Structure 1
Amino acid sequence: MSMLPEQSAVTVLGMGPMGRALAGAFLDAGQQTTVWNRTPGRDRELVARGAVGARSAEEAVAASRLIVVCVVNYDAADSILRRDAVADALKGRTVVNLTADTPERARGMADWAAEHGIRYLDGAIMTPTTTIGTPAAVFLHAGPEELYREHRPVLDTLGGAHTHLGEEIGRAAAYDIALLDIFWTAMAGYAHALAVARAEGISARELAPFAKGIGAILPPIFEQTAEEVDSGHFSDQGNPITSAVSSMAHIVHTSEAHGIDAGVMRAAEGMARRAIGRGHGADGFVRIAELLGRR
């Protein structure tokens, strides 16, 4: 059993796949855990393992000093937390909102929490449900550092790496958006590559080992180009935008020759050509980050 004091008990609101994983990790760590979900029945397995199933959100909130929220988006979180009875029960307690949404929504929730005497931390989960409770999990947090430190012992029982990104409450959501941008853009590119490869008679299994090689060269590129973006000094490193545009054009031509939509690559090519048109043809591809950021 946990050696943490009584007030370290935790409530988890939201019994989707991630919410159940969070509650399960708390239980595995010996935490006294209360669970609640808008749709009844999803907590049966957790209750069988020792969780307390609350009959209402108000009851769930009243059971713990720390409330972890993980639902589909902030609309769902609002519909639970902003009910008068729940807001009253939350007064003086801490909400750690691990629901994914935009930085603006996180800031709005924090403002509402402050108005109602609720202590608030925002966060993001950057790894899938299977990692929760293991060293592979990655959690990002934002909000008052003192509040984060107070609840860190309980949050640590979720496993993995926990990083406090600062007191600006939208920071975790901003990291989440940026990192998911990388992930989904990459997955869209991979799906497109699989379609082009198949059209050329290459199976996904045949392509996958070489695709992994492309993935492996990206981390050092991320490091190098991060310094360039922050400094505003862009180098071509032997691959100027003019060369990149040439290879992009080949991808567009091959795709469309097979009747495959090349809209994503055409968009990337268009951004690169815009950079060239502004006199940056000798710079590296990441120069487009600066152009995208201009208003």
Structure 2
Amino acid sequence: MNVAVGIVAQRDNERAQTLATTLVDTLEDGVSTVVDDATSAAVGEDGVPVGSMADRDLVVSIGGDGTLLFVAREVGRTPILGVNLGEVGFLNAVSPDEAVAAVADAVETLRRTGAVDGRELDRLRADGEGWTLEPALNEVVVHGPRRGHGGGATIEIRVDGDRYAKSHADGVLVATPTGSTAYNLGEGGPLVHPDGDTLVVTQMAASDAMPPLVVDRGAEITLAVSEAETAYAISDGRNRRELEPPATVDVSVADDPVTLAGPQADFFEALEKLE
């Protein structure tokens, strides 16, 4: 079978663009490649929007975990192979030196079996009255008008209908195992192994705090916001919805996970790189 590959290089990163060019030049016949429109000039080919790569068999993300998060938002369930140019690399397991071989292996597997080796990563969906945020691979955050003194809100946390906590806080964060190493960790939440079928609920600077709570991945989490002029629900630090308290945000596992293709990162080795 012919294999269609999309390649996304971290914006304004010459090293990433050079590697994208190498991949385009070295992938063998029978492989159709496209690059993102921000990389096209460096590669010398026409580019396409990243979102249009959702119909490809594989998308290669070259950069840090932030680049892969961006790609995941755009391409949905299309398998993503991450090449790590960042510092830690919880999501990007492939080094630049191994990139050509890893992509070639994935292409050969696709050609032979019609699928790629990899694992699925849960994403979170946040819903309110008449709206839904884009799915989050790391976390959903609900917070008041701003962080710090005078900027929080009262947020009640319910899990499957049962109240866990209610407190004035800067905000509340719900993270996947993938996101446990990101914003959640910075707010004092626990690390969760990537294989855990769980979610984490962490309060942010709560006046009457409860410990971070680990719940089953199938739990329905409800965050009710009050006593604030305005508040926000935010998906992966990027997609946001302004709320008019009192307001309720329901958070649960989304139907469409991210498929991470190719070699997988060593979780414990990546932890050693955290500052």
Normalised to the residue count of structure 2, the TM-score between the two structures is 0.33
**Between structures 1 and 2, the one with greater strand share:** 2
Of Structure 1 and Structure 2, which has the larger fraction of its residues in helix?
Answer: 1
The structure that has the greater radius of gyration is: 1
Q: TM-score, normalised by structure 1?
A: 0.32
